[in-house]
Each structure stands twice: as structure tokens, then as C-alpha cells.
């Protein structure tokens, strides 16, 4: 039974719903004074030993969550507030963090089955990014497992995982840990943690176990249900140790892993810490170097199917596919009139009217960069722009193609530019440029590498060859700044969240084939200000679930009730999420 009920006030927050009860804390969703939704953990100090409090006063999770408070990392839960509240004779500490919509990774696998190799690697890389950030603060997470990772699917199909639970985070542990270990998941624990040894490498083991779970649907060496042991620590440790004496299963009838993936798992899950990856960054690098080039070879074919490359081109590497623009691509983009007008005036006009461009001596455009928060529709605008221009075009997905510091990627990219020159006028569309051309230097300082020089050589004044490069990014600050200059990207446009008309259209599209009462789409669009397409999709699905459960049509009231407590994933009005650079 929860301690606090819906509507009760804790500090300046109002309880919205109860989530779960743990050994020392209860979790809730709460409404803040700004009418935004947040997560809250309420700690009962009576259940926490004095030695497990920071300096004997504050809950470790609260203190260390504050130390991690930063906009640098998107893959770790963000601190918002904390405080103390009394109820009866009991004293409670509370921690408020940002609210994340989505599904726990554990539930996603249980409901939808294991992930394929590509998605499993993508998710693991994000978790490793979060871990690297935690480790950079001289902290250890100690409890990486599927039920501590919240998974959101962004509007562009990317999967965004966030480490949402810091219940066992600590400084480097020597001897007795500063947290209770009764609720740690045994099959995700490194062998040494059963001896109270917790290090960066025990986090590496747990992340390896997470990657295994994503692809196989269960933990490595997972044996009998340990709940029958009634929490007996020694019996649990003995049962896990016995299970791990067996060879690790790396292939089943359903899961066939390539040899390089098996080698990565065996290294991450090595029983001796010295045999594992030395850091989260090294683990991530192994995934980048081994897995991403393989995925790049399977670039997704466009809906109209691939066309053959020009004669004489080397056919090794990824297949280059292209389409012919229709000249009316902006018909697919509802609203966003200001952005479309900017693109027409500053880019499209000169390209579509070369005689006027020559008469008025309009500057040529080599590259266009579209940036904005995840889910705002950059990928849609990118392809629609190429369609609107009417040229031949190809789309390169940065996470699939690889980055320029991987072997072979620059050669493959040169093949794209060579093919584009033969089929000019041509648009090379690069989705998520930060993956293709990351800045390898600390603090964004510029230090031109041979790889970036080669990329600059391809892009610089490519308009003379009839090539236009159009790219998108969530994080302009993560792109190597050497190619952000005039001559490569001459025009930069911010893509905001869907505007009023776009949100209205998204609601109409999602509701048109469902049983509905008469709806006021203008009101729904107004209430969803700053929402991206994924936020609206989720709101409509929740309303549909409520209506189906009550066996009634979807009504305006049901939709309004859902929207009242929904927060935008990335708000331009608060500190949450994306900030324009």
C-alpha cells in the first residue's frame, strides 16, 4: 500500500499516480508547479541504515543524482529537485527527476520479443554513453539491468534509452557497499559483486548481460527462478555461480550471431574483471568498429527500389540507391510555412531558376544543415526537400553508414559523391550527420584530422559538380566543426516542433480510422503546443486505450484529459530536453 495518495502535496508537487514500492523508496508521478509531469522517489528514512546515508544525513541517490546534474548527457535521468517532508511521526526525503515517457526495456522484450542485432547494438551504445558519463564523475552505477532502462521510440524511428534508476549508484566501493544489495538482479551481477567488490568493470559485465538479454530475451547463464530461495544471499550466490560453470549459449534456433558479436559478448561477460573491456568507451568502440560496418552493408532500399549504379563504378561496399524527386515534396509537410518559405527563398529558388540566379549573381549553395530536437520531423523535411527540388537524390543514414574514422567508410562515401557527379544535378541527403562526422576532440576544439580533411575535400564547392549536400542533426555541437564552415554548409535552418497546423494534421491522421465522437481538432492542437509527432501519437494511443476499455467512442473529453498531464518530450519553453546551439 502506497504512503501518499493521489492529490496529496509533497513540497510544491502534487501526487498524480503511484508507480511501485521498493525496499527503501516508493515511486510516483507528480505534477509540478509548472503543470509539468515529473518522476518522484520518496525515501523512508526509517528503512535506511545510518551508514548508508551520505555523511549520515542524506540519501546517497539524492546526493549523487545532484552531482550528475548536467545537460551533457541525454542517456541518464536528470535531477530536478529534492526536499524533505514529514507525515505523522515519519520523515521522508524525496527526489524529483525529469519525466520520461516510454516502456521499460524489460517490458519491451517481454511484450514484443528480443531485439534484432541493429537495435540491440543501438540501445547498448546509448547505455554505454550514459555509463561513460557516470564513470567520468568517478561514480559507478552498480545496477544496469533492463528494468532500469526506459526506452522511447522517437518520431524518426530511433530508439532512445535512458538510465532512469540510480538506486545503487556509489563512489568507488571498497569493502562494504554504501547501498543495500538485496534487490539487485542476480543474473545481471558480475561475479565479484557477490564478494562486495563493485568497480567500473562490474558495470561493464552488467551492460554485456543487458546486450545479451536484448538479443536472446533472457540473461546470460539464466538458470532456475531464484525467488524460491527467499532472499538467502549465500544460496543465491551459489546458484548463480553453479549456472555460470556451464558454457555461455551464443546461438539458438532463433538467434544466429556473427562471430565478431560472439567475441564481443564473451569479452564483456568475462568472469575475471581483467579479461573484460577496460571501460565503457572501449566496449562502445568495439561495437562501432565491428558491428556498424556490417550494418552499413545492408543500407535500406528506398520504397521504389534501388537503381543500378553508373557504369564503371566499384560495386564493393554499400549499395547506392537513388530516387528522382517529384517537384512537389513539400505537399507532404503540413504546416511549417515559415520554414518552407525560407527554404524556397534561400535555397530552392536559385537552383530551380538558374538563369535568374546567373543574372542576379546569386551565390551558389554547397550544403544545407537542418537541426532541431529529436522527433521534430527533420527526416521528413529532409526527404521532402529533395522531392521538392526534383533532382536525383540518395539518403545516407548516419548511424547505419558508419563514421569517417572507421575503416572503409570514407571510401564508401567517395563512391556516393562519384555517383552523384555522374548523375548530377544530385542531392546527397545525410540523416544524423553527427554520426557520420563526429568531433573526436575534447571540448569541441578544432584539430583537423586526415579523415575530416578528406570529407571537407568532397564537400567543398561540390556545387560546381552539380551536387548539393543536405544534412540533419540533433546535436550540431557534436559535429566536427571543420565542416561547419561556409563552403561546406552555407545555410543552416532550425526545424522547430510541429506547429499548430501540423499538430492538427497529425491528430486527424491518427484518429481518422478509429471510432470517435465529433472532435475539436483546433482545441487538441492548442493543448499540444510544443509536442512532437511521437508525443501526439502516444496521447492518441492512451486515449484510444481508455475508450476501448470503457467500450465507448474516443471523445474530446478523453483526449483532453490525457493531454492535461502530458509533457512534451523536448520542450523549447523549459530546461527539459533540447537546447538550440
Supply the mean pLDDT for the chain.
Answer: 84
In a domain, 464, yes or no: yes
Q: Name the DSSP class of 554.
A: B
Counting Cα atoms < 13 Å in the Cβ hemisphere of 478 gives 15
Counting Cα atoms < 13 Å in the Cβ hemisphere of 552 gives 12
For residues 278 and 576, the model is more confident at 278
Q: What is the 3-state secondary structure (H, E, C) of 74-127?
A: CCECCEEEEEEEEECCEEEEEEEEECCCCEEHHHHHHHHCCCCHHHHHHHHHHH
490, 367 Cβ separation under 8 angstroms: yes
Instruction: Compute the CA torsion angle 166, 168, 171, 174 (nearest 10 deg).
Output: -170
Task: Tell me which of 80-84, 157-161, 254-258 is least confident.
Answer: 157-161
d(CA 47, CA 23): 8
C-alpha cell at 477: 555541437
Contacts of residue 178, defined as CB under 8 A and 6 or more positions apart, other chains included, come to: 51, 52, 60, 170, 171
pLDDT value of residue 321: 66
Q: pLDDT for 474-528, tens place per residue?
A: 888 888 888 888 888 989 998 888 888 888 988 998 898 899 999 999 999 999 9
**242 and 124 together in one domain:** yes
d(CA 172, CA 463): 54
Residue 421's domain spans which residues?
A: 296-494
CATH number of the domain bearing residue 32: 3.30.200.20
Average pLDDT over residues 29-48: 90
Average pLDDT over residues 364-375: 87
**507 and 550 together in one domain:** yes
In 3D space, the residue among 159, 165, 167, 157 whose CA is nearest the CA of residue 52 turns out to be: 167
pLDDT value of residue 221: 92
In a domain, 581, yes or no: no
What number of other Cβ atoms are within 10 A of residue 44's Cβ? 17
Task: Tell me which of 269-278, 445-454, 535-544 is least confident.
Answer: 445-454
Average pLDDT over residues 405-419: 86
**16 and 107 together in one domain:** no
Task: Name the pLDDT band for 306 (thresholds 50, 70, 90).
Answer: very low
Task: Name the pLDDT band for 75 (thresholds 50, 70, 90).
Answer: confident
Instruction: Compute the CA torsion angle 386, 387, 392, 395 (nearest 10 deg).
Output: 50
What number of other Cβ atoms are within 10 A of residue 580's Cβ? 10
For residues 381 and 321, the model is more confident at 381
In 3D space, the residue among 574, 545, 571, 573 whose CA is nearest the CA of residue 558 turns out to be: 545
**377 and 450 together in one domain:** yes
In 3D space, the residue among 577, 562, 493 whose CA is nearest the CA of residue 530 turns out to be: 577
Residue 142 in this model has a pLDDT that exceeds 80: yes
| In the chain, % of residues over pLDDT 90 | 34
Residue 98 in this model has a pLDDT that exceeds 70: yes
In a domain, 579, yes or no: no
pLDDT value of residue 307: 44
Residue 137 in this model has a pLDDT that exceeds 90: no
Q: pLDDT for 323-353, tens place per residue?
A: 888 878 888 777 778 888 999 999 999 999 9
Most trustworthy range by pLDDT among 96-100, 293-297, 553-557, 569-573: 553-557
Average pLDDT over residues 256-282: 92
In 3D space, the residue among 189, 192, 108, 93 whose CA is nearest the CA of residue 141 turns out to be: 189
Residue with cell 493521489: 6
pLDDT value of residue 190: 93
Task: Name the pLDDT band for 317 (thresholds 50, 70, 90).
Answer: very low
Most trustworthy range by pLDDT among 225-229, 277-281, 498-502: 277-281
C-alpha cell at 303: 520504397
Average pLDDT over residues 89-110: 89
Residue 576 in this model has a pLDDT that exceeds 70: no
In a domain, 221, yes or no: yes
In a domain, 576, yes or no: no
Give the start-end residues of each E strand in 372-449: 392-397, 426-431
CA 428 to chain centre: 25
CATH number of the domain bearing residue 546: 1.10.8.60
Average pLDDT over residues 147-162: 75
Instruction: Compute the CA torsion angle 402, 78, 149, 39 (nearest 10 deg).
Output: -150
109, 115 Cβ separation under 8 angstroms: yes
**66 and 116 together in one domain:** no
d(CA 412, CA 423): 17
Residue with cell 561514480: 139
Task: Name the pLDDT band for 153 (thresholds 50, 70, 90).
Answer: low
Task: Name the pLDDT band for 553 (thresholds 50, 70, 90).
Answer: very high
d(CA 452, CA 488): 12
| In the chain, % of residues over pLDDT 70 | 88
pLDDT value of residue 74: 67
pLDDT value of residue 233: 80
d(CA 406, CA 436): 10
Average pLDDT over residues 404-423: 85
Which of 265, 290, 315 marks a domain boundary? 290
Task: Tell me which of 184-198, 307-321, 433-447, 475-489 is least confident.
Answer: 307-321
d(CA 434, CA 411): 18
**3-class secondary structure, 498:** coil
In a domain, 571, yes or no: no
Most trustworthy range by pLDDT among 274-278, 282-286, 378-382: 274-278
Average pLDDT over residues 269-294: 84
Reported residue count of the chain is: 581
For residues 226 and 45, the model is more confident at 45
**307 and 266 together in one domain:** no
Which of 494, 518, 538 marks a domain boundary? 494
For the sheet containing 491-494, what is the strand order? 323-324, 392-397, 426-431, 467-473, 367-371, 491-494
What number of other Cβ atoms are within 10 A of residue 543's Cβ? 25
pLDDT value of residue 580: 41
pLDDT value of residue 66: 87
Task: Tell me which of 18-32, 52-66, 78-92, 520-534 is least confident.
Answer: 52-66
**75 and 109 together in one domain:** no
For residues 440 and 578, the model is more confident at 440
Q: Give the bridge partners for 261, in sequence order.
A: none
pLDDT value of residue 304: 39
Q: What b/e readout covers 503-518, taking b as 16+ CB neighbours within 10 angstroms?
A: bbbbbeebbeeeebee
Give the start-end residues of each E strand in 158-250: 159-163, 170-171
Give the start-end residues of each E strand in 339-418: 367-371, 392-397
**318 and 423 together in one domain:** yes
**312 and 427 together in one domain:** yes
Predicted TM-score of the model (pTM): 0.53
**309 and 268 together in one domain:** no
Distances in whole angstroms, Cα of residue 335 to Cα of each of 339, 381, 496, 497, 504: 9, 11, 11, 11, 9
Average pLDDT over residues 244-267: 92
Residue with cell 549520515: 56
Average pLDDT over residues 254-260: 90
Task: Tell me which of 222-231, 389-398, 422-431, 492-501 is least confident.
Answer: 222-231
**90 and 60 together in one domain:** yes
What number of other Cβ atoms are within 10 A of residue 273's Cβ? 17
**3-class secondary structure, 236:** helix
Q: Burial, 90: exposed, middle or buried (Cβ in 10 Å; 0-12, 13-18, 19+)?
A: exposed
Q: pLDDT for 528-538, tens place per residue?
A: 988 888 788 88
- The helix (run of H) or strand (run of E) holding residue 260 is helix 259-268
CATH number of the domain bearing residue 210: 1.10.510.10
CATH number of the domain bearing residue 362: 3.40.50.300
pLDDT value of residue 492: 92
DSSP class per residue in 460-493: TTGGGGTEEEEEEES-GGGB-GGGSSTTT--EEE
Q: Give the strand pairing for 426-431 and 467-473.
A: parallel
**333 and 258 together in one domain:** no
C-alpha cell at 153: 521510440
In a domain, 121, yes or no: yes
The total of structural domains in the chain comes to 4
Average pLDDT over residues 111-115: 90
Residue 372 in this model has a pLDDT that exceeds 90: no
In a domain, 359, yes or no: yes
For residues 294 and 206, the model is more confident at 206
Distances in whole angstroms, Cα of residue 540 to Cα of each of 121, 332, 534, 556: 30, 21, 10, 11
pLDDT value of residue 579: 42
Which of 73, 98, 123 marks a domain boundary? 98
Amino acid at each position: 500500500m502506497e504512503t501518499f495518495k493521489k492529490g496529496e502535496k509533497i513540497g510544491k508537487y502534487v501526487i498524480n499516480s503511484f508507480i511501485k514500492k521498493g525496499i527503501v523508496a516508493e515511486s510516483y508521478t507528480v505534477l509540478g508547479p509548472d503543470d509539468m509531469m515529473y518522476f518522484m522517489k520518496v525515501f523512508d528514512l526509517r528503512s535506511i541504515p545510518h551508514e548508508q546515508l551520505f555523511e549520515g544525513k542524506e540519501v546517497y541517490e539524492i546526493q549523487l543524482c545532484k552531482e550528475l546534474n548536467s545537460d551533457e548527457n541525454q542517456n541518464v535521468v536528470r535531477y530536478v529537485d529534492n526536499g524533505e517532508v514529514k507525515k505523522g511521526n515519519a520523515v521522508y526525503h524525496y527526489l524529483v527527476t525529469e519525466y520520461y515517457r516510454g516502456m521499460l526495456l524489460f517490458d519491451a522484450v517481454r511484450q514484443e520479443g528480443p531485439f534484432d542485432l541493429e537495435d540491440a547494438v543501438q540501445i547498448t551504445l546509448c547505455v554505454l554513453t550514459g555509463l561513460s558519463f557516470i564513470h567520468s564523475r568517478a561514480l559507478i552505477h552498480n545496477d544496469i539491468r533492463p528494468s532500469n532502462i526506459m526506452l522511447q521510440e522517437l518520431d524518426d524511428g530511433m530508439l532512445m534509452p535512458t538510465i532512469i534508476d540510480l538506486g545503487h549508484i556509489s563512489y568507488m566501493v571498497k569493502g562494504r557497499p554504501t547501498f543495500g544489495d538485496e534487490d539487485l538482479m542476480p543474473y545481471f551481477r558480475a561475479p565479484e559483486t557477490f564478494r562486495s567488490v563493485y568497480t567500473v568493470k562490474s558495470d561493464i559485465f552488467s551492460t554485456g548481460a543487458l546486450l545479451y538479454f536484448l538479443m536472446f530475451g533472457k540473461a546470460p547463464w539464466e538458470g532456475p527462478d531464484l525467488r524460491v530461495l527467499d532472499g538467502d544471499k549465500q544460496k543465491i550466490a551459489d546458484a548463480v555461480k553453479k549456472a555460470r560453470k556451464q558454457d555461455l549459449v551464443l546461438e539458438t534456433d532463433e538467434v544466429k550471431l556473427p562471430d565478431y558479436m560472439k567475441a564481443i559478448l564473451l569479452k564483456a561477460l568475462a568472469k575475471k574483471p581483467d579479461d573484460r573491456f577496460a571501460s565503457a568507451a572501449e566496449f562502445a568502440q568495439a561495437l562501432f568498429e565491428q558491428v556498424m560496418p556490417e550494418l552499413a552493408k545492408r543500407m535500406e532500399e528506398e520504397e521504389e527500389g534501388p537503381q543500378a549504379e553508373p557504369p564503371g563504378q566499384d560495386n564493393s561496399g554499400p549499395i547506392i540507391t537513388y530516387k528522382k524527386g517529384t517537384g512537389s515534396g513539400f505537399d507532404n509537410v503540413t504546416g511549417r510555412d515559415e520554414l518552407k518559405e525560407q527554404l524556397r527563398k534561400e535555397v530552392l529558388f536559385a537552383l530551380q531558376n538558374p538563369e535568374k540566379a546567373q543574372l542576379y549573381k546569386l551565390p551558389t549553395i554547397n550544403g544545407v544543415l537542418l537541426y532541431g530536437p529529436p522527433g521534430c520531423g527533420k527526416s521528413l523535411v529532409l526527404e521532402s526537400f529533395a522531392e521538392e527540388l526534383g533532382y536525383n537524390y540518395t539518403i545516407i543514414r548516419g548511424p547505419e553508414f558508419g563514421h569517417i574514422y572507421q575503416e572503409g567508410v570514407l571510401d564508401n562515401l567517395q563512391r556516393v559523391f562519384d555517383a552523384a557527379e555522374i548523375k548530377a544535378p544530385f542531392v546527397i541527403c545525410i540523416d544524423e550527420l553527427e554520426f557520420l562526422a563526429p568531433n573526436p576532440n575534447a571540448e569541441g576544439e578544432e584539430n583537423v584530422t586526415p579523415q575530416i580533411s578528406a570529407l571537407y575535400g568532397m564537400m567543398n564547392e561540390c556545387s560546381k559538380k552539380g551536387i548539393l549536400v543536405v544534412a540533419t542533426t540533433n546535436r550540431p555541437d557534436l559535429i566536427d566543426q571543420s565542416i561547419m564552415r561556409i563552403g561546406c554548409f552555407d545555410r543552416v535552418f532550425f526545424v522547430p516542433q510541429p506547429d499548430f497546423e501540423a499538430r492538427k494534421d497529425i491528430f486527424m491522421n491518427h484518429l481518422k480510422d478509429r471510432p470517435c465522437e465529433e472532435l475539436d481538432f483546433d482545441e487538441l492542437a492548442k493543448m499540444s503546443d510544443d509536442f512532437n509527432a511521437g508525443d501526439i501519437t502516444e496521447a492518441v494511443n492512451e486515449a484510444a486505450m481508455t475508450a476501448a476499455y470503457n467500450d465507448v467512442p474516443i471523445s474530446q473529453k478523453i483526449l483532453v484529459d490525457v493531454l492535461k498531464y502530458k509533457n512534451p518530450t523536448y520542450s523549447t519553453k523549459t530546461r527539459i530536453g533540447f537546447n538550440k546551439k
